[in-house]
Chains A and B, each alone.
Chain A
Amino acid sequence: MKRNLIIELDYGARLAEAAFAAASDPQAGLDPAAVPDIAGIALDPSFAPTVIPGVHATDPTAPGYVSGQKVELALTEAGEIDPNQATYIVRATAEEDKVEEILAQKHVVGVFADVEIQPSLICPGSPPMGDDGDVERLLCVPQMRRLRMDGSGVLVAIVDTGINLAHLSARGRPITLDVARSWVPSPGMVPGNAPVGHGTMCAFDAAIAAPQATFLDIQLLRSSASGPTPMSGVLSDAVRAYSHLISVMTAPRRPGEARSLVVNNSWGMFHPSWDFPVGHPGNYSDNPNHPFNRIVAALERVGADILFAAGNCGANCPDGRCQGVTANAIYGANSHPSVLTIAGVDISNTRVGYSSQGPGRLARNKPDLAGYTHFRGSGVYAADGGTSAATPVVAGVVAAVRSRRPFQPGNPAASPAAIRALMRSTATDLGAAGFDFDHGFGVVGGCALVRRFIRVRPIRPIDICRRIPELCRPRPLPIDICRRFPEICRGVRRPDLPLPPPDLPRPGPQFAADDESLGDFGFELGGASLEDLLAAVWEAGYYDGSQVTGGAAASRSPAKGCGCGCS
């Protein structure tokens, strides 16, 4: 198999000249004539030779010695890199099994793997990492389904741009939609029939862990009110949408009707300039009295589990709409103490560079936890990205939990606060130990949740008689030969002693042995028990033994003239 290799070469005049020239010319390539002949490699002409300065051990006694410095660059007297002591690398491909031969050739100092590398952080525009199948595996979704943690009996409200059911079916994740309890901001809009977009992506990602949930299409971001982009809105429409969700939660309950509600919000305010200034009584970002922050708290109090995306204003590579503001960028309801605020990590558990970091504005310890994002999934975009995708991934897990622990008014263990605590406590810690402002308490722990919901049963003792009934059938009592024939067990050979009178076989209806084979003993065997037969056999043997050893005759000889040694 061919491998990409880095070949390190020793000094050669033409190679050194080319390498030093290329250091100041970013367009430079490789002149093959400058490289000594190396058998078995194919040089990469686009990679210019590169100087690796030589080093030598420092002299601790020399003037100017820096304590602790073990090596120093090999320089000329002029203070420049000494080309004679430097080495030079070129890039090449070669068969993997030829590496040793290449290494043995003249001028070759080293051969190293040239491994593929990726940017350490996912940023806007990065290609997707993994797919929704990877997310399923990381969340232990198959194990969840075996425990009936699949969203059944749970409502999942996707508060977004609307859901396109046909697209979800075409992508292999059909969902059940409750049209009657969905909500559209304007007449004429149809739940489940929105243009394929952001909301459809969110529904797809929530269905990863909660395929059996009943979805509500809350088309907030298709409002007619003007926002900064075609798919946007204003916060007062969110107040309307939440008022509708409160009515869903407080409506009279039908027998057996599901009333657990998980609310996914993959949206928010990108920049503080969109808001009244902090300190203004009408401010949204930092003000728990803002109508939307109040109604969020009200919806949580009636039992809804509410999730908000942290935002895409992470310091490493923020969304352009953040306009460079990355500090304290989790605003308003996205930082509400009554919601789960979700950061984003890729499938390698590395925080995506654009995921907003805490502290939050309303509650300081935000985000709460992280979800998987930037994977190939819904097909709406190249990657299901942003904290937009991370949030429904976690919302689906919350819905799966609610299948096993439905909301019950008055039950503290089933309250939204208890579910938030459960989600935090089962998260897999990332980054600094415990909570941190990048990942919260860590990435959502689907597998840990599965372990929480596996019912612990006391181990029952093995019922051996039920498993192997043959062992426990009534059996005849074992023969106590010593009790019946104590002479044997005393070890005293007293053939002259009279034998105990044998129990003669008694005819009986149950005996099925072959009479003829035993008839030589002269017994009537028609109804003998096994014990009787054994006693008779022993007696016959004892008699024979006494004949052989010349002892006294047994008290009773077989009543038979047979010509078999008896007299």
Chain B
Amino acid sequence: MDTVMLQFRHRGMAPGLDEVAALFGLAPGEIDATFGVIATDPAEGLYTVRIDVRGADRVRAALAQRPADPAEGLFANPPIAPFGPPED
């Protein structure tokens, strides 16, 4: 499935997957459970989940209800590859 990363702020302990799904209007299957909820910046209370792009519109709608924050939102999940050996 095509995925994107959802980063959001959360106070207190790391939220569970169910809590994240409820916060952003996602179905349980739209959040990657193997990825889990990762603290990307613990000092700032920033957490990230990996979600199916089919839930992106609902997430945007939920985010629109929150104060504008450049650290919150849907982020690219681009492919990565080794830098070697160089190919012609």
Assess whether A354 is interfacial by the CB under 8 Å rule.
Answer: yes
Quick one: closest A residue to B82, CB to CB? Answer: A198
Assess whether B86 is interfacial by the CB under 8 Å rule.
Answer: yes
A284 touches B83 (CB 8 A): no
Measured between C-beta atoms, what is the minimum distance from A121 to chain B in Å? 12
Q: Mark B22-61, 1 if CB is under 8 A from A, else 0.
A: 0000000000000110111111101010100000000000
B87 touches A239 (CB 8 A): no
Complex interface: chain A residues within 8 A of B70 (CB): 281, 289
Quick one: closest A residue to B69, CB to CB? Answer: A289
Assess whether A163 is interfacial by the CB under 8 Å rule.
Answer: no
B86 touches A267 (CB 8 A): no
Assess whether B71 is interfacial by the CB under 8 Å rule.
Answer: yes
- A48-104 residues at the B interface, CB under 8 angstroms: none
A274 touches B46 (CB 8 A): no
Known contacts A301-B43, A319-B86, A386-B86; A239 and B78 CB within 8 A of each other = no
A312 touches B76 (CB 8 A): no
A291 touches B78 (CB 8 A): no
Assess whether A381 is interfacial by the CB under 8 Å rule.
Answer: yes
Q: Please, how many angstroms separate the alpha-carbon atoms of A159 and B42 in the complex? A: 22
Assess whether A168 is interfacial by the CB under 8 Å rule.
Answer: no
A309 touches B83 (CB 8 A): yes
A298 touches B81 (CB 8 A): no
Measured between C-beta atoms, what is the minimum distance from A157 to chain B in Å? 15
Assess whether A269 is interfacial by the CB under 8 Å rule.
Answer: yes
- A418-447 residues at the B interface, CB under 8 angstroms: none
Assess whether B12 is interfacial by the CB under 8 Å rule.
Answer: no
Assess whether A268 is interfacial by the CB under 8 Å rule.
Answer: yes
Q: Please, how many angstroms separate the alpha-carbon atoms of A354 and B84 in the complex? A: 11
A227 touches B39 (CB 8 A): no
Q: Chain B interface: which size bin?
A: 20 to 34
B38 touches A239 (CB 8 A): yes
Interface stretch, picked from A5-13, A229-237, A472-480, A530-538, is A229-237
A236 touches B3 (CB 8 A): yes
Q: Please, how many angstroms separate the alpha-carbon atoms of A297 and B71 in the complex? A: 13
Measured between C-beta atoms, what is the minimum distance from B10 to chain A in Å? 14
Assess whether A311 is interfacial by the CB under 8 Å rule.
Answer: yes
Quick one: closest B residue to A295, CB to CB? Answer: B40
Known contacts A235-B80, A269-B80, A321-B81; A240 and B35 CB within 8 A of each other = yes
A234 touches B75 (CB 8 A): no
Complex interface: chain A residues within 8 A of B74 (CB): 281-282
Residue in B39, B50, B78 whose CB lies within 8 Å of A243: B39
Assess whether B17 is interfacial by the CB under 8 Å rule.
Answer: no
Known contacts A269-B78, A283-B76; A201 and B5 CB within 8 A of each other = no
Assess whether A214 is interfacial by the CB under 8 Å rule.
Answer: no
Q: Give A residues with C-beta under 8 Å from B.
A: 123-125, 160-161, 198, 201, 220-221, 225-229, 231-236, 238-240, 243, 246, 266-270, 274-276, 280-284, 287, 289-292, 294-295, 297-298, 301, 309, 311-312, 319-321, 354, 381-389, 391
9 A-B contacts (beta carbon < 8 Å)? A229-B81, A267-B83, A268-B80, A295-B48, A298-B40, A309-B83, A354-B86, A385-B85, A388-B84
Additional A-B contacts beyond A160-B82, A243-B40, A385-B85 (4; CB < 8 A): A125-B88, A268-B83, A291-B7, A295-B38
